[in-house]
């Protein structure tokens, strides 16, 4: 069993001590010293451990749907960026994100940690962990608002700084990276399994430095492009420190058709060499969420655009195929990068976990639903009928693969990338997938070039492709599009799978038809026809968008791509790379100002 019971006992202990302090009052209106009896706490290392555990806020399997409404995934549900692009969004209806309670908890800890009777290196370790969480907290605020008030102490009700204006992005970023650097210098490498160590700090440091460096480079509205290399260099240096430590490696057993997917269905990632940090779950102790909604009759559907991003298995561009726009579902999964069939349900995939939301049997035939893409996601979907299995699957929060991608991208942006760098990084990812090496001299893919017109380097374009493929449906895509100033890509209508016309179609790749497409006026036979396997064919009526009498919309009515979401709205630059401060907060503090056109 995973070493997790101690972890949860400590967390529950913290909740038992502090639950009465977690009232509904705003943290800015309370005196924290009276909330938890600080005079009787923060005395021992166990006290520090217990409090620090309360700061842990690592994501769960929500990461697997966080790409919704980007060019990776369509959704019929509500997503903030979708609302912004399709409605008259403003500070009265975009109101999430301006929450500061986590910061209060962190600063409260930092104000009292000196009480503990521990050695200086132990004290600095826990200070470093707290400062990591503060850096991460503020990094998310910077991504949303660009300018926010910096607070490194707990505010009382009479403090004048309650009503101060936002600090500039430059000021807050300087403080953020001071926190990251302190944490990197002081958080220990050898710690209890499942807790934050030096390399967890370094991974977040690497991610945030790359984000800030590229954001400054590509966002002219900030006027900070001249300082972008400072953060790109940090991203390179910190990533290389992780690499040189040899503490992690790419998980590769020599099975390119399985190894990648195993990272997302493992019940124990604590010993996986690629995992820098995992959110650990254990049945009946801390049950993971049941991920059935990822697969069955659900709101989201992976996009054809993402399918088209994967290379052919020989390393050539999928876009170079002469009939690329009219390939059937079976054809587009033939001879592709092995990661595609470990992310999407492929022709011949076997379904074992059926439920109300995913009807079917083990011989799975793609379900086609109105307003969906026809594709199904298997990355993050636990294809096992046993709840005990599904509830114990760990979430890979930080992967060494991302560090390698950060390193490569930073060096490419700095103009210092070498073939040796590629071999140390991206080519390790390709090796796991059984793909040829990426060469520094790679030629440009016109389709990839058209996506990023502000990039002229073919190798940088391929690094962006590799990042999209390797990190697909792990919740990183929106951040990437934002920092690259590529939000316009989200305006493109997400297409679904292609059908050449009416009649019977094979979706399992065995040469035997599985479904029948009919026009609205055709009757579905009773009984339904069976195929050569003795299985009833599935019937769908197809037509144009808006025809409520059909259940699949095709772009040409009786042929073409499934129409997933015909109205994507408009991405307004630079405004939509940011979010408004909620109007209610501006009323409370008129010194706060909106940025880049928000009101």
Q: Name every residue whose Cβ is closer than 8 Å to that of residue 53 and which is 6 or more positions away in sequence.
A: 7, 10, 11, 14
pLDDT in tens, 540-578: 999 999 999 999 999 999 999 999 887 889 999 999 999
Domain definitions of the chain by residue range: 501-558
Exposed/middle/buried for 48, CB within 10 Å: 0-12, 13-18, 19+?
A: buried
Position 294 scores a pLDDT of 82
Please compute, for residue 303, the number of CA atoms within 13 A of its CA located in the half-sphere on the CB side: 27
Please state the length of the chain: 599
Q: Which tokens go with 468?
A: 């999209």
Can you tell me the distance from the alpha carbon of 512 to that of 529, in angstroms, rounded to the nearest whole number? 13
Can you tell me the distance from the alpha carbon of 383 to that of 364, in angstroms, rounded to the nearest whole number? 12
pLDDT in tens, 472-499: 999 999 999 999 999 999 999 989 999 9
Work out the end-to-end distance of the chain between its first and last CA atoms, rounded to an integer number of angstroms: 52
* Regions in the chain scoring below 50 on pLDDT: 1-2, 5, 9-34
Nearest Cα to Cα of residue 239 among 414, 486, 52, 380? 414
Position 567 scores a pLDDT of 82
Q: Name every residue whose Cβ is closer than 8 Å to that of residue 443 and which is 6 or more positions away in sequence.
A: 458
Q: Kind of pairing, strands 495-499 and 560-563?
A: antiparallel
Write out the DSSP string of 348-363.
Answer: T-B----BTTB---SB
Can you tell me the distance from the alpha carbon of 531 to that of 529, in angstroms, rounded to the nearest whole number? 7
Indicate the pTM of the whole model: 0.94
Can you tell me the distance from the alpha carbon of 263 to that of 492, in angstroms, rounded to the nearest whole number? 31
Exposed/middle/buried for 311, CB within 10 Å: 0-12, 13-18, 19+?
A: buried
Position 9 scores a pLDDT of 46
Position 34 scores a pLDDT of 44
User: Maximum Cα–Cα distance for the chain, whole Å?
Assistant: 80
Can you tell me the distance from the alpha carbon of 7 to that of 15, in angstroms, rounded to the nearest whole number? 13
């Amino acid at each position: 069993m995973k070493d997790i019971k101690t972890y949860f006992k400590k967390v529950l202990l913290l909740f038992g001590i502090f639950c009465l302090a977690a009232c509904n009052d705003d943290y800015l209106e309370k005196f924290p010293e009276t909330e938890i009896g600080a005079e009787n706490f923060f005395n021992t290392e166990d006290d520090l451990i217990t409090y620090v555990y309360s700061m842990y806020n690592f994501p769960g399997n929500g990461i697997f749907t966080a790409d919704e409404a980007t060019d990776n995934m369509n959704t019929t549900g509500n997503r903030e960026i979708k609302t912004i692009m399709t409605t008259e969004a403003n500070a009265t209806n975009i109101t999430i994100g301006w929450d500061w309670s986590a910061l209060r908890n962190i600063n409260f800890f930092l104000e009292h940690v000196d009480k503990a009777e521990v050695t200086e290196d132990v004290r600095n370790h826990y200070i470093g962990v707290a400062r990591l969480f503060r850096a991460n907290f503020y990094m998310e605020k910077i991504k949303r608002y660009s300018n926010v008030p910096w607070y490194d102490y707990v505010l009382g009700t009479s403090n004048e700084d309650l009503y101060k204006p936002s600090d500039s992005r430059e000021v807050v970023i300087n403080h953020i990276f001071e926190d990251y650097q302190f944490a990197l210098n002081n958080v220990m490498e050898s710690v209890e399994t499942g807790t934050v160590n030096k390399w967890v700090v370094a991974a977040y440091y690497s991610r945030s430095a790359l984000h800030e460096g590229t954001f400054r480079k590509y966002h002219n509205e900030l006027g900070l492009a001249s300082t972008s290399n400072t953060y790109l260099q940090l991203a390179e240096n910190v990533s290389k420190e992780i690499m040189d430590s040899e503490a992690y490696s790419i998980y590769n057993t020599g099975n390119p058709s399985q190894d990648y997917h195993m990272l997302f269905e493992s019940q124990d990632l604590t010993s996986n060499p690629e995992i820098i940090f995992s959110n650990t779950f254990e049945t009946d102790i801390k049950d993971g969420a049941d991920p059935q909604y990822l697969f069955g009759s659900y709101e989201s559907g992976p996009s054809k655009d993402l399918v088209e991003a994967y290379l052919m298995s020989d390393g050539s561009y999928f876009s170079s195929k002469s009939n690329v726009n009219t390939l059937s579902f079976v054809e587009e999964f033939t001879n592709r990068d092995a990661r595609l069939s470990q992310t999407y349900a492929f022709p011949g995939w076997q379904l074992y976990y059926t439920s109300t939301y995913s009807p079917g049997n083990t011989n799975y035939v793609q379900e086609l639903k109105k307003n969906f893409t026809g594709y199904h996601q298997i990355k993050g979907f636990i294809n096992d009928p046993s709840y005990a299995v599904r509830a114990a699957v760990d979430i890979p929060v930080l992967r060494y693969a991302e560090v390698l991608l950060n390193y490569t991208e930073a060096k490419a942006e700095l103009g210092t990338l070498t073939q040796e760098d590629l071999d140390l990084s991206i080519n390790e990812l390709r090796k796991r997938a059984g793909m040829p090496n990426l060469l520094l001299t790679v030629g440009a893919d016109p389709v990839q070039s058209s996506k990023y017109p502000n990039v002229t380097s073919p190798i940088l374009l391929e690094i962006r492709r590799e990042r999209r493929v390797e990190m697909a449906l792990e919740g990183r895509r929106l951040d990437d599009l934002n920092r690259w100033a590529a939000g316009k890509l989200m305006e493109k209508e997400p297409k679904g799978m292609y059908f050449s016309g009416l009649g019977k179609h094979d979706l399992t790749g065995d040469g035997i038809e599985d479904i029948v497409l009919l026009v609205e006026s055709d009757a579905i036979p009773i009984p339904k026809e069976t195929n050569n396997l003795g299985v009833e064919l599935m019937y769908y009526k197809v037509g144009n968008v808006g025809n409520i009498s059909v259940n699949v919309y095709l772009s040409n009515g009786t042929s073409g791509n499934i129409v997933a979401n015909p109205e994507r709205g408009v991405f307004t630059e630079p405004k939509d790379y940011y979010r408004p401060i909620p109007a209610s907060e501006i009323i409370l503090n008129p010194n706060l100002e909106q940025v880049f056109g928000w009101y």
